[in-house]
Amino acid sequence: MVPKHEILPKEEVERVLEKYNITKGQIPKILESDPMVKKIKAKPGDVIKITRKSKTAGESIYYRVVVSD
């Protein structure tokens, strides 16, 4: 039910930020207290890659940055 969450490695984060020409602040946020964040043990500042099943695109990728609450 819950889509796949994984911590994005540092190099990957750089790549994503460069791809969209953004800073970390422009990525949607996710609270540290989120159950999925706790499960994969992500810390504030980490970028999480979410792979969702999508009706329109089959599979879609979303990024969120962990923030403390």
Is residue 48 within 8 A of residue 6, CB to CB? The reply is yes
Q: Is position 33 an interface residue for other proteins (rule: CB under 8 A)?
A: no
Q: Tell me, residue by residue from 49 to 68, as one string, x for binding to other proteins by CB under 8 A and - for no binding.
A: ---x-x-xx--xxxx---x-
Q: Distance of alpha carbon 44 from its chain centroid, rounded?
A: 11
Q: Examine residue 8 and tell whether it contacts other proteins (CB under 8 A).
A: no
Nearer to other proteins, 3 or 9 (CB): 3
**How many residues lie near other proteins (CB under 8 A)?**
16
**Whole-number Cα distances in Å, 16 to 12, 48, 50:** 6, 11, 13
